[in-house]
């Protein structure tokens, strides 16, 4: 039996605009704000069940559609004269299959939400996504701390008293 694809399709600039700090950063440097948001999404990708695609408008840029991978997040810049909303709608329409894919679209654009919902995708507001990302980041930190406690300090899993005795022997003390 085939496993269902779980796709998280993110309207990148919409997600940046929903986080006040990133929005302020984007006024200074859009590239830095994008990179910071992609870093957070890539950390989420490492612990989530999603295949993550993040779409950015290149509407007024004379270029072809471009794609690259940013640490397990597929980043897409739309082609000239295509908005992220148009790309997302086309992607959902062409990709969604009730038995093979679950697609969740992250956007706060109400007309976009209605359009993708009519094609069978789920919708999540950008604000809800930031809550999900912050929750995941807290859980990642807790998991790392738990795992670090489980990892022995030395290659041998020996209690502290025995380690001290071995260290004395190594140094020539009795």
pLDDT at 66 over 70: yes
**Cα 162 from Cα 167, distance rounded (Å):** 9
Nearest to 53 by CA among 109, 92, 99: 92
pLDDT band at 159 (very low <50, low <70, confident <90, very high): confident
Query: 59 pLDDT exceeds 60?
Result: no
DSSP 100-124: TEEEEEE---HHHHHHHHHTT-EEE
Higher pLDDT pick, 139 / 92: 92
Q: How many domains does the chain have?
A: 1
Provide mean pLDDT across the span 154-172: 79
List, for residues 77-116, the tens digit of each pLDDT value.
Answer: 998 888 888 899 899 889 888 888 899 999 887 767 667 7
- CB atoms closer than 10 angstroms to residue 35: 13
Residue 76 has what pLDDT?
A: 92
| Lowest mean pLDDT across 7-21, 56-70, 147-161 | 147-161
Q: Which domain holds residue 166?
A: 5-171
């Amino acid at each position: 039996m085939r496993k269902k694809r779980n796709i998280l399709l993110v309207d990148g600039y919409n997600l940046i605009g929903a986080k006040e700090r990133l929005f302020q950063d984007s006024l200074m440097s859009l590239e830095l704000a994008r990179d910071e948001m992609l870093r957070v999404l890539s950390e989420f990708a490492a612990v989530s069940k999603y295949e993550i695609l993040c779409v950015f408008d290149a509407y007024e840029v004379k270029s072809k559609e471009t794609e690259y991978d940013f640490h397990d997040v597929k980043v897409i810049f739309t082609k000239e004269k295509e908005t992220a909303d148009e790309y997302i709608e086309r992607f959902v329409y062409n990709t969604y299959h009730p038995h093979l894919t679950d697609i969740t679209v992250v956007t706060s654009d109400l007309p976009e939400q209605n359009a993708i919902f009519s094609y069978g995708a789920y919708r999540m507001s950008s604000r809800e996504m930031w809550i999900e990302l912050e929750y995941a980041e807290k859980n990642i930190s807790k998991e790392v701390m738990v795992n670090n406690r489980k990892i022995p300090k030395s290659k041998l899993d020996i209690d502290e008293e025995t380690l001290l005795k071995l260290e004395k022997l190594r140094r020539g003390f009795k």
